[in-house]
């Protein structure tokens, strides 16, 4: 026997449509949580004893668009990327934000700007900031009194 599902389904069509609408709504609300949406990616500073290491996720930023200044104990970072859809193309998804970073960080100690080195690799900026000699931790030998 042939069951005509299409006829049977008809009254539920509006429900299916409603469900689809809700799905779409929730797709928008609960869009995948992204790292660094609306601004640049993560920034972090680690203390490695003799030096600080500063890392910044800057995907899509060219070297010429990064400006980095170290002065005494202040690190200033400026970076920018623009995301322009190519002309004549239809955009289906636009999640990658254009962003501009302009931030100054006060480091816990003064650093040696002369020996600081920065690299930009695979969209991650890594800055090595050697501490000033006086700020480097020193192990103190304990003397026993005989």
Residues making contact with other proteins (CB under 8 A): 32-37, 41-42, 44-46, 53, 55, 57-62, 83, 85-86, 88-97, 120, 122-124
Is 124 in a helix, a strand, or coil?
A: strand
- For other proteins, the closer CB: 122 or 138: 122
Task: Report in angstroms how near the CB of residue 116 gets to other proteins at its nearest.
Answer: 18
List, edge to edge, every strand of the sheet that includes 51-57. 43-47, 51-57, 124-130, 117-121
Q: Considering the complex, what minimum distance in angstroms separates the CB of residue 86 from other proteins?
A: 6
CB of 79 to other proteins, least distance (A): 11
Task: Give the nearer residue to other proteins in terms of CB position, either 82 or 143.
Answer: 82
Decide whether 10 or 46 has the Cβ nearer to other proteins.
46
Q: Between residues 7 and 121, which has the closer beta carbon with respect to other proteins?
A: 121
Question: Distance between CA 127 and CA 89 in Å, rounded?
Answer: 38
Query: What are the backbone angles phi and psi of residue 84, rounded to the nearest 5°?
Result: -115, 125
- Which is closer to other proteins, CB of 59 or CB of 73? 59
Beta bridge partners, 74, equal: 71, 106
Question: CA-based angle 116:74:135, to the nearest 5?
Answer: 65
59 SS3 class: coil
Q: How far is the CB of 26 from other proteins (least distance, A)?
A: 16
CB 143, min distance to other proteins, A: 36
Contact 29, 39 (CB under 8 A): no
């Amino acid at each position: 026997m042939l069951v005509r599902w299409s006829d049977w389904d008809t009254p539920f069509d509006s429900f299916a449509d409603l469900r689809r609408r809700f799905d779409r709504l929730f797709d928008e609300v609960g869009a995948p949580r992204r790292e660094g949406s609306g601004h640049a990616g993560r920034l972090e500073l680690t203390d490695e004893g003799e030096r600080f290491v500063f890392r910044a996720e800057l995907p899509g930023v060219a070297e010429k668009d990064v400006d980095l200044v170290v002065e005494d104990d202040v690190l200033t970072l400026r970076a920018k990327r623009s995301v322009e859809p190519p002309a004549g193309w239809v955009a289906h998804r636009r999640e990658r934000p254009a962003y501009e970073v302009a931030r100054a960080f006060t480091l816990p100690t003064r650093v040696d700007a002369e020996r600081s080195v920065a690299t930009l690799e695979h969209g991650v900026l890594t800055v090595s900031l050697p501490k000033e000699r006086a700020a480097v931790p020193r192990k103190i030998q304990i003397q026993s009194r005989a």
